[in-house]
Amino acid sequence: MPKESDFRLVESPVPRPASGEVLVQALYLSVDPYMRIRINGASSYAQSVQPGEVMVGGVVGRVVESNDPRIAVDDVVEGMLGWQKYAVAPAKTLRKIDPKNAPVTTALYVLGMPGLTAYFGLLDICHPQPGETVVVSGAAGAVGSLVGQIAKIKRCRAIGIAGTNEKVRFITQDLGFEGGFNYKETPDYTARLKDLCPNGIDVYFDNVGGSITDAVMKLLNTRARVAVCGQISQYNADRPEMGPRWLGQLVAKQAKVEGFLVHQFADRYDEGLRQLSTWLREKRIRYREDIVDGIENAPRAFIGMLEGHNIGKQLVKVG
**Neighbouring C-beta atoms of residue 199, cutoff 10 Å:** 11
Measured from the CB of residue 153, what is the shortest distance to its own copies in angstroms? 25
**What is the crossing angle of helices 269-281 and 142-153, to 10°?**
80
Q: Rounded distance, CA 77 to CA 86, Å?
A: 13
Measured from the CB of residue 145, what is the shortest distance to its own copies in angstroms? 19
Measured from the CB of residue 46, what is the shortest distance to its own copies in angstroms? 9
Q: Rounded distance, CA 241 to CA 231, Å?
A: 11
Q: Which is nearer to its own copies, 109 or 265 (CB)?
A: 265
Measured from the CB of residue 152, what is the shortest distance to its own copies in angstroms? 25
Q: Which is nearer to its own copies, 62 or 225 (CB)?
A: 225
Q: Which is nearer to its own copies, 10 or 247 (CB)?
A: 247
Q: Which is nearer to its own copies, 139 or 208 (CB)?
A: 208
Q: Which is nearer to its own copies, 95 or 256 (CB)?
A: 256
Measured from the CB of residue 279, what is the shortest distance to its own copies in angstroms? 25
* 206 Cβ contact list (under 8 Å, min separation 6): 136, 137, 213, 216, 226, 227, 228, 229, 230, 231
Nearest alpha-carbon partner for 188 in 221, 205, 211: 211
Residue 141 pairs with which residues in a beta bridge? Answer: 312
Q: Which is nearer to its own copies, 141 or 209 (CB)?
A: 209
Q: Which is nearer to its own copies, 104 or 220 (CB)?
A: 220
* 127 Cβ contact list (under 8 Å, min separation 6): 225
Measured from the CB of residue 88, what is the shortest distance to its own copies in angstroms? 30
Helix (H) or strand (E) holding 215: helix 210-218
Q: Which is nearer to its own copies, 10 or 242 (CB)?
A: 242
Measured from the CB of residue 252, what is the shortest distance to its own copies in angstroms? 4
Is the four-CA dihedral 174, 177, 178, 183 of positive or negative sign?
Answer: negative
Measured from the CB of residue 186, what is the shortest distance to its own copies in angstroms? 20
**Distance, first Cα to last Cα, the chain:** 28
Per CB under 8 A, residues contacting its own copies are 37, 44-45, 206, 209-210, 213, 228-231, 234-235, 239-261, 264
**Neighbouring C-beta atoms of residue 293, cutoff 10 Å:** 10
Q: Which is nearer to its own copies, 86 or 246 (CB)?
A: 246
**Neighbouring C-beta atoms of residue 261, cutoff 10 Å:** 14
Q: Rounded distance, CA 2 to CA 177, Å?
A: 32
Measured from the CB of residue 223, what is the shortest distance to its own copies in angstroms? 8
Alpha helices (H) along 53-202: 113-120, 142-153, 165-169, 189-196
Nearest alpha-carbon partner for 115 in 90, 88, 79, 142: 142
